[in-house]
Structure 1
Amino acid sequence: MEVPDWRTVPRMLRDLADGHPCDIVVTEGTEGPVRLSLAGLRSRAGDVARGLIALGVRPGDRVAVWGPNDVDWVVGAFGVWDAGAVLVPLSSRFKGVEAAEVLRSTGTSVLITGHGHDGVVLAGLLGGAAGGPAPGRPFAGLPDLRHVIVPQGVDHPGASRPAQLLAASSRVGRAEAEERALAVRPDDLCEIISTSGTTGTPKGVMLEHSPVLRAYWDWAEIVTLGPGDRYPVIAPFAHGFGLNAGLLASVMRRATMTPVRVFDAESLAGLIRDRGVTVLAGPPTLFHRLLEEAELDGHALRVAICGAASVPPELVRRLTDRLGLERVINAYGLMEGTVVSMTRAGDPVEVIASSAGRPVPGMEVRIVGEDGRDLPAGERGEILVRGYGVMRGYWGEPGRTAEVIRDGWLHTGDIGTLGPRGDLSIVDRKKELFITGGFNVSPAEVEGLLLREGSLAQVAVVGVPDPRLGEVGWAFVVPRRGTAADPDAIIAWARATMSNYKVPRRVIVVDALPVNANGKIDKRALRARTPAG
């Protein structure tokens, strides 16, 4: 099926709500679950949009949503899009310094927050990184941030609550808000998603409305996601996969999503049994744990999307044989290029396990050598991508954009091969990123954060294989002269300062870091000191 001629998220929501108002697209909770229909989503998103317009949000302004996956996140996102604003998702795992950096770099004007994990007040984390209230803004160190919305019942200096946002919406007529939503253009920015980079600071990937809708309509078409499917979204909404292949794809295809705040194998198994879950997506570690730790008798699962560079063939067989799934799908994508390739119906286990399938319609893939020339099938080289799904660029960083998009081709930094029939296999990373439990981790970013701790002169972080999480970080550190470095204290500081998936699992104190002939830190030599070495 061709993607409907929506071209923007607000038009998509209106078309679906008009044609299928009673379809349930969000459920939440185990007892007396919240059920949100397409008509209800449109109505509640419209209220949020009118409130944002009343606060002075203009088309193209950046509005951030910060919290774990829940129904309020869904409503907030569609409200931002209805207001003609650009969505800036913030990870619920962020600490204050991480969130403040993204808010500052994107010039975000309004922040909508929820409760963090364990009930933490997320807005309260910003004080240490961005200062206290200042005239006309809630945080002195965030000059563009004019308004913060905190959960109902929470008190925070200079912040408002959802009830106040909805009260403000009465100052804006529905006709004015509708005009704003319908004025959104296909090439307007839809979202700015933070992605880890090798330079140490996250980059803001700019994606437009029309390409995002097309990419994830096609993704859902290959997945066979549709009305009647029940789909727990485990990937965080702050991540491109959770937001686009989860939240947006579910609404586009009129499937029922259940936002999952925190993954737990037994709880997820209960959800699969009790809610009749039919579609499930996640990294191989999720499926391994589900198979090992949970009882899944009587399930309705039919499709598993298991995106990773490689998926163990035995896992594919266990998912199809033990659980009786119709399909196991592997895929390759990246923030900067959305959906690039996917396996298809009828692909054998060996193809699903060893490749990410063939490019999706409208996307092209090349494998090139160091000289930029195309390599023959089977030879390793850098993966280049071209097509509608490639980002507009990095927010506010034309230089870094020009480094990765050249002559229309996105240089991914990933190393791969193309098989005889065009199947793409990802075999290595040119970049140093590693993946912990499905989250990309930038060693350079973690190194920069650790250097703020105070006792360290140098830091080098490498990824080490881990049976449960895929990879975890080990940090080799050199103390400042006259200072002792305490590994346990450094790890405790890291847990309080950065997202948990970035926290090194081990800190090793060394007198000096090895360097190569170019004077750069020799991470290959450091990896040799780990169990993988």
Structure 2
Amino acid sequence: MRADENWGTIGRLILASGDRFPNVEALVDGELRLTFPALRDRIIDSARAHIAAGVEKGDKVAIWAPNIAEWIISGLGAVMAGAVLVPLNTRYKGMEAADIIRRSGAKVLLCVNGFLGNDYVGMLAGTGVEDNCRIVVIKGDAPEGTTSWQDYLNAGAGVPVESVDARVNETSPDDLCDLVFTSGTTGKPKGVMVTHAQTLRVFEVWADVVGLAKGDRYLIVNPFFHTFGYKSGIIASFLKGATMIPEPVFDVQKVLTRIAAEKVSMLPGPPTLFLSILNDPNRDSFDLSSLRVAVTGAAAIPVSMIERMRDELTFKNIITAYGLTEATGTVTMCRPED
């Protein structure tokens, strides 16, 4: 049965993950290691916190953060509570983020403070965002007028788990799950409305085509604010039982170290990522033999690069793809045999 018919919503998919993959590591971020049951429970606690904060079904919750565990836990908790998630580009300046927060009508903003030295809360000063949107700092110092993630979670402790179950049951496959804004290349960024059913159906097919499987260890370098990182990364991992290993900033030495240490098997990214690995003079110092699946796109792809990936690395499946935010993130893909 198709994912959109079986689970219907992202919330039901997450609830089912603990039973489907009881002994599989779901998330690795620094010292944090969570199995699928443990991650499911963290997301439920996050949903309880959102409900306690007054987030109602259909409300917009914005998230402005890099690829970290807190993005997955806080963001999916909002979706489980029936909210519509609005990811924000971490490269935005304050006025750019404020514009999307206002236009989307976000009731809560989940953000970090200090990523790449940026004062995200400070960048919003004077924009008026705080008048209508509660700011929750999910990682980093929480300045006056904001709420720390721990305090936000603590407030949800009094919300029964049954309230989360009720929200999940109230949410329909045809309800919106997120509002992802386009890059704004040809004008002002546009919010693309996507439903739970669309997301599950498209990215189950995506995961099947690329060959993502239970137990794969997935280094997610593509940003979570983009469908390539969020949907092809997080959602696909919940669908197939892959371990999510978020990488907040691409640095070739750090990536090579993590591939070797975590036995990464799944590595999507733009051509520049793979060329950086192939051309790194220290590449042979790292054990990269676990690499199995690569997905690339977003730019012209040299045939010579694909040949080198096959000859010099251990990839079995190398997939090229093209997508648009307006088309749920995926438009065309080749298959391993192409």
What TM-score do the two structures reach when normalised by structure 1? Answer: 0.60
Counterpart for residue 26 of structure 1: 27
CA shift for structure 1 position 196:
2.3
Query: How many angstroms apart in 2 are the aligned matches of 1:119 and 1:249?
Result: 31
CA shift for structure 1 position 119:
4.3
Answer yes or no: is 1:324 the counterpart of 2:314: yes
Counterpart for residue 70 of structure 2: 72
Answer yes or no: is 1:341 the counterpart of 2:338: no
Query: How many angstroms apart in 2 are the aligned matches of 1:153 and 1:16?
Result: 29
Q: Is the Cα contact below 8 Å between 2:267 and 2:293 reproduced in 1?
A: yes
CA shift for structure 1 position 9:
0.3
Query: How many angstroms apart in 1 are the aligned matches of 2:159 and 2:39?
Result: 19
**CA offset digits 1:132-154 (Å, max 9, x no partner):** xxxxxx724xxx31x11124662
Among 194, 198, 203, the residue aligned to 1:216: 203
Q: Is the Cα contact below 8 Å between 2:181 and 2:189 reproduced in 1?
A: yes
Among 95, 102, 105, the residue aligned to 1:104: 102
Answer yes or no: is 1:10 the counterpart of 2:1: no
Query: How many angstroms apart in 1 are the aligned matches of 2:299 and 2:272?
Result: 13
Query: How many angstroms apart in 2 are the aligned matches of 1:18 and 1:86?
Result: 26
Matched residue SS, 2:109: strand
Structure 2 matches for 1:482-497, cutoff 5 A?
none
Counterpart for residue 248 of structure 2: 261
**CA offset digits 1:452-486 (Å, max 9, x no partner):** xxxxxxxxxxxxxxxxxxxxxxxxxxxxxxxxxxx
Counterpart for residue 130 of structure 2: 139
Q: Give the number of aligned pairs.
A: 333
Q: Is the Cα contact below 8 Å between 2:62 and 2:87 reproduced in 1?
A: yes
Q: Is the Cα contact below 8 Å between 1:265 and 1:289 reproduced in 2?
A: yes
Matched residue SS, 1:170: helix
**CA offset digits 1:335-381 (Å, max 9, x no partner):** 1113222111221xxxxxxxxxxxxxxxxxxxxxxxxxxxxxxxxxx
The one-letter amino acid paired with 1:78 is: L
Overall identity of the aligned pairs, in %: 40
Counterpart for residue 232 of structure 1: 219
Query: How many angstroms apart in 2 are the aligned matches of 1:151 and 1:335?
Result: 26
Any stretches of 5+ residues in structure 1 without a counterpart?
132-137, 348-533
The one-letter amino acid paired with 1:195 is: T
CA shift for structure 1 position 22:
3.0
Distance 1:251 1:213, change over 3 A: same
**CA offset digits 1:157-177 (Å, max 9, x no partner):** 321111221221133222122
Query: How many angstroms apart in 2 are the aligned matches of 1:153 and 1:88?
Result: 20
Distance 1:152 1:342, change over 3 A: closer
Matched residue SS, 2:323: strand
CA shift for structure 1 position 34:
1.0
Matched residue SS, 1:331: strand
Counterpart for residue 40 of structure 1: 38
**CA offset digits 1:35-68 (Å, max 9, x no partner):** 1221112211111111111111110000011111
Counterpart for residue 165 of structure 2: 178
Among 58, 61, 64, the residue aligned to 1:60: 58
- Choose between structure 1 and 2: higher strand proportion: 1
- Choose between structure 1 and 2: higher helix proportion: 2
The one-letter amino acid paired with 1:313 is: V
Structure 2 matches for 1:340-489, cutoff 5 A?
340-347=331-338
Among 283, 292, 313, the residue aligned to 1:295: 283
Q: Is the Cα contact below 8 Å between 2:218 and 2:264 reproduced in 1?
A: yes
**CA offset digits 1:421-468 (Å, max 9, x no partner):** xxxxxxxxxxxxxxxxxxxxxxxxxxxxxxxxxxxxxxxxxxxxxxxx
Query: How many angstroms apart in 2 are the aligned matches of 1:153 and 1:223?
Result: 36
Query: How many angstroms apart in 2 are the aligned matches of 1:85 and 1:261?
Result: 25
Distance 1:308 1:170, change over 3 A: closer
Q: Is the Cα contact below 8 Å between 1:230 and 1:258 reproduced in 2?
A: yes
Matched residue SS, 2:326: coil
Query: How many angstroms apart in 2 are the aligned matches of 1:67 and 1:198?
Result: 22
**CA offset digits 1:510-531 (Å, max 9, x no partner):** xxxxxxxxxxxxxxxxxxxxxx
The one-letter amino acid paired with 2:53 is: L
Query: How many angstroms apart in 2 are the aligned matches of 1:265 and 1:151?
Result: 27
Distance 1:152 1:327, change over 3 A: closer
**CA offset digits 1:58-111 (Å, max 9, x no partner):** 100000111110001010121011110000111222210111011010000001
The one-letter amino acid paired with 2:38 is: G
Q: Is the Cα contact below 8 Å between 1:308 and 1:330 reproduced in 2?
A: no
Matched residue SS, 1:72: helix
Distance 1:169 1:291, change over 3 A: same
Any stretches of 5+ residues in structure 2 without a counterpart?
none
Matched residue SS, 2:22: coil
Distance 1:285 1:14, change over 3 A: same
